Amino acid sequence: MNSATISQPVEDVQGDGRWMSQHKRFITEGKEREPEVLFIGDSLIQRLAQTSVWESMFEPLHCLNFGIGGDQTQNILWRLTNGELDTVEPKVVVLLAGTNNYNNTAEEVTDGILEIVNVVQTKLKSSHIIVMGLPPRGETPNKLRDKNAEINFNLSQKLENMANASFLNTDPSMFVRENGLISHTDMYDYLHPTNVGYQKLCDPLLEEIQNLLQVFMKVENTSMTISTTASDVDD
């Protein structure tokens, strides 16, 4: 049995109910905010919302962030099947998940991510889902880096011809230098990106989102403005 594909809430071992509180807040925010773009994932997504990259690149596009630190694919599945997708109708969904599934094989994590895609497509039939490749992790080469690379390869194959879905690979060379090391200037703890790291990670993502929305932003002295095309008008 693959635990990565079986929805499960996070156990409240600390006793303060924070995980469930965030889940309930997401449901409320989705109803109130009506996002064009919905981000789903773990701390890599969650922490993005606290950066200047989020403020400048994604807030103008009416994005909402449903990331919770520590979540594994099964936890995200539980959230999505228990209300988080019931109050939103985004045009684009961005998913980044799987790096926390330490006890699962690359194949199992791949299946867990694909199950999330299935849930999103079942509940949000008109949305396009962008599945982001897992970034490399660890200062030096390690087995989790290798595992994430294998997951990315699997996803690239599985999502290649899937309708309303696309795989956005994370090029390891953005973070891994020629000597095989990741710098703390890109990932301060060798897992979570700095502002510089998020900029590298999100530049190609923003381009993909803009192409799907047909809403384009241009940089002018580090500030961004929105320009739209005629196709932005709702049918």
- Is the distance from CB of 140 to CB of 187 less than 8 angstroms? no
Q: Write down the catalytic residue from 12, 189, 203, 232.
A: 189
* 189 belongs to the catalytic site: yes
Q: What are phi and psi of 35, to 5 degrees?
A: -70, 145
Strand ranges across the sheet with 128-132 = 63-67, 37-41, 92-96, 128-132, 165-168
Q: Which run of H or E residues covers position 223?
A: strand 223-228
CA within 13 Å, CB half, 75: 24
* 43 belongs to the catalytic site: yes
> Given pLDDT bands bounded at 50, 70 and 90, which one contains residue 227?
very low
Query: What's the pLDDT tens digit per position in 18-55?
Result: 999 999 999 999 999 989 999 999 999 999 999 999 99
For the ranges 32-36, 66-70, 189-193, 215-219, which has the lowest average pLDDT?
215-219
Q: Write down the catalytic residue from 3, 43, 166, 183.
A: 43
Q: What's the pLDDT score for residue 1?
A: 85
* 192 belongs to the catalytic site: yes
